[in-house]
A and B are shown apart, each in its own frame.
Chain A
Amino acid sequence: MSSAAGTSSDPHRLGHGRNEDDNQRDTTGHGQGGPASKRIVVGYGFWIYLLSDIVLFSAFFAAYAVLAHATAGGPSGPQIFTRTRVAVETVCLLLSSYCCGLASLGAERRSQLTTQLSLAATGLLGAAFLAIELSEFAELMARGATPTRSAFLSSFFALVGLHGLHVTIGLLWLGTMMAQTWVKGFRPAIMRRLLCFSLFWHALDIVWVGVFSIVYLLGSRA
């Protein structure tokens, strides 16, 4: 840690690296100690990307909120949403996020078995979520509730479909990560990619919280 004087004047070390006897160790991002490590730079950059992705989702949420009542005589929310199915989807995605957390713990302990099993569980639960969502879409289309029917349905399919697309891409990424972790082991580059993947997966779960609350729970009320 730092000297007693440094601790008292800056208990949380917000200006870390300003202590005379601490210059060589705690100066990350503050010049003399050199730039932050690649892991920090990559993780922070990916965090910025995720926030921009959430801004993208916010535009779709806004479109849905504005158009939610523009049903043009077609089916409305309470007529097409099934709460039990959404509850199952939510639990799938939540458990998937949990398994993803277990995978990053496994990777931290450099345990190939734990990591692979957790990632496989993450992928299976994510695939189950996607399958339920696709069956819902197919059912709606069969009932004539297609994206072209009304502005409400356009915005619904755009928002939920965009989330589903992210999950699909996440599953492809997950498969790639399992193969890379298996073949290349826990190299620094692989660890960075695993970190980014887990951030991506957890962020998708956060977006889904918004989707099931705003679209399904609020939308299924008369």
Chain B
Amino acid sequence: MSDPYKKDSGDTVPGEGEDGAASLRGYTLGLALALLLTGASFWVASTNLVWAPSVPVAIVVLAVAQMGVHLVFFLHVTTGPDNTNNVLALAFGTLVVLLVIVGSIWIMGHLSHGMAMDHAAMGNMP
């Protein structure tokens, strides 16, 4: 680490890692884990061995796990002390993403439910 442009103790950026966290072993391990989780995801979606109503939950959980693997092994976002800024930004981004997606599904679900009720009510009218 004699490179003056890399040496900046006390802070890290995503993708750089702390103390040479970026290594061939790290990337290969990340690739293996990601392939494993992808394979599990496709298997769960295709098989009949898993109780059908639980499949969407399983797929979402596997997707979140794989995103975590990518963040840690490829982007080197960790919980290390020098990564606090990166993790806080990520946490805020995740909050906004969850608000947008869950909020949209929730509100639009209620809206279409209400519209279905209206149609049913109108259909019953003489």
Interface string of A110-147 (1 = CB under 8 A from B): 00000000000000000000000000000000000000
State whether the Cβ of A162 lies closer than 8 Å to any Cβ in chain B: no
A212 to B45 Cα, complex, angstroms: 11
Q: In the bound complex, do residue A65 and residue B42 qualify as a contact, i.e. CB atoms below 8 Å apart?
A: no
Q: In the bound complex, do residue A199 and residue B96 qualify as a contact, i.e. CB atoms below 8 Å apart?
A: no
**Which residues of B lie under 8 Å from residue A221 when comparing CB positions?**
45, 55-56
If over half of A's interface residues share one DSSP class (helix, strand or loop), that class is named, otherwise mixed; here it is helix
8 contacts between A and B (CB under 8 A): A16-B9, A28-B10, A40-B12, A43-B14, A44-B13, A62-B100, A199-B14, A221-B56
Known: A12-B81, A37-B5, A101-B22. A61 touches B74 (CB 8 A): no
A61 to B105 Cα, complex, angstroms: 10
Q: In the bound complex, do residue A206 and residue B101 qualify as a contact, i.e. CB atoms below 8 Å apart?
A: no
Given A27-B10, A90-B38, A213-B59, 6 other A-B residues pairs in contact with their CB atoms under 8 A? A51-B92, A62-B100, A62-B101, A66-B104, A94-B31, A98-B28
Q: In the bound complex, do residue B45 and residue A217 qualify as a contact, i.e. CB atoms below 8 Å apart?
A: yes
Contact partner, A13, options B10, B22, B62, B93, Cβ 8 Å: B10
State whether the Cβ of A48 lies closer than 8 Å to any Cβ in chain B: yes
B interface, CB within 8 angstroms of A: 5-6, 8-16, 22-24, 27-28, 30-31, 34-35, 38, 41-42, 45-46, 55-56, 59-60, 62-63, 66-67, 70-71, 74-75, 81, 84-86, 89-90, 92-93, 96-97, 100-101, 103-105, 108
Q: In the bound complex, do residue A199 and residue B75 qualify as a contact, i.e. CB atoms below 8 Å apart?
A: yes
The residue in chain A whose Cβ has the minimal distance to the Cβ of B62 is: A213
Q: In the bound complex, do residue A39 and residue B42 qualify as a contact, i.e. CB atoms below 8 Å apart?
A: no
A interface, CB within 8 angstroms of B: 12-14, 16-17, 25-30, 36-37, 39-40, 42-44, 47-48, 51-52, 54-55, 58-59, 61-63, 65-66, 83, 87, 90-91, 94-95, 97-98, 101-102, 104-105, 108, 188, 191, 195, 198-199, 202-203, 205-206, 209-210, 212-214, 217-218, 220-221
The residue in chain A whose Cβ has the minimal distance to the Cβ of B9 is: A26
The residue in chain B whose Cβ has the minimal distance to the Cβ of A28 is: B10
Contact partner, A206, options B10, B22, B67, B104, Cβ 8 Å: B67
